C-alpha cells in the first residue's frame, strides 16, 4: 500500500474524496465535467499545494489532513518524458488536461502517479473516485492540520 495525503478545510473533509470540486472546476489534469481527486505523496507536498493556490490569510483557517492508502497494484506511474511537453504551464495547459481526461475515461487503473509541478522529483496522485476499485482505498478520519503562522507573513 502506498500512502498519500490531502489537505482540505474541515467543511469539505466528508466529501474530499468524491472528486466533485475537480468535476465542477477542473484541475491541472482534468477538465470540468470529470471527477478526480488530487493527492500528494507527502504531507509537505500537500501543504505546498495549498500554499501555491490559497491566499495567505486562508492559511490561518482550520484545515484537515486525510491520509489515503492506495494499493500499489492500482497505481499507474507516468514518467515526465511521457507527458505533454507543456504539462508544467500555468495555468494548466489544454494538453495536460486532455492527457488526464483520456486517462480518466479509460479507467484502467484507480490512480495515476505524476510528477508534481511544484517539485517535479516528488509526485501527486490523480485518483479516479468512481473507479470500481475505489472501495480498496483506506481513508483515515480527518486529522487537524495547522500551517505555521509565519507563512502568512511571506
CB atoms near residue 113 (< 10 Å): 19
The class that CATH gives domain 2-149 is: alpha beta
Length of the chain: 154
Q: Which residue in 82, 69, 76, 71 sits closest to 108, CA to CA?
A: 76
- Could you read off the pLDDT of 40-53 as tens digits, one per residue? 999 999 999 999 99
Q: Express each pLDDT in 65-109 by its tens digit.
A: 999 999 999 999 998 999 999 999 998 999 999 999 999 999 789
Class of residue 34 by CB neighbours under 10 A (exposed 0-12, middle 13-18, buried 19+): buried
Q: Is the pTM above the cut of 0.85?
A: yes
Amino acid at each position: 500500500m502506498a500512502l498519500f495525503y490531502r489537505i482540505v478545510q474541515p467543511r469539505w473533509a466528508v466529501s474530499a474524496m468524491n472528486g466533485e470540486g475537480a468535476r465542477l472546476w477542473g484541475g491541472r489534469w482534468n477538465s470540468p465535467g470529470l471527477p478526480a481527486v488530487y493527492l500528494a505523496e507527502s504531507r509537505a507536498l500537500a501543504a505546498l499545494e495549498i500554499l501555491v493556490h490559497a491566499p495567505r490569510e486562508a492559511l490561518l483557517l482550520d484545515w484537515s489532513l486525510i491520509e489515503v492508502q492506495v494499493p500499489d497494484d492500482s497505481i499507474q506511474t507516468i514518467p515526465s518524458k511521457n507527458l505533454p511537453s507543456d504539462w508544467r504551464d500555468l495555468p494548466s495547459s489544454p494538453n495536460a488536461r486532455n492527457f488526464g481526461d483520456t486517462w480518466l475515461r479509460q479507467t484502467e487503473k484507480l490512480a495515476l502517479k505524476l510528477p508534481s509541478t511544484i517539485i517535479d522529483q516528488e509526485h501527486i496522485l490523480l485518483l479516479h473516485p468512481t473507479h470500481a476499485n475505489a472501495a480498496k482505498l483506506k481513508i483515515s478520519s480527518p486529522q487537524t492540520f495547522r500551517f505555521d503562522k509565519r507563512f502568512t507573513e511571506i
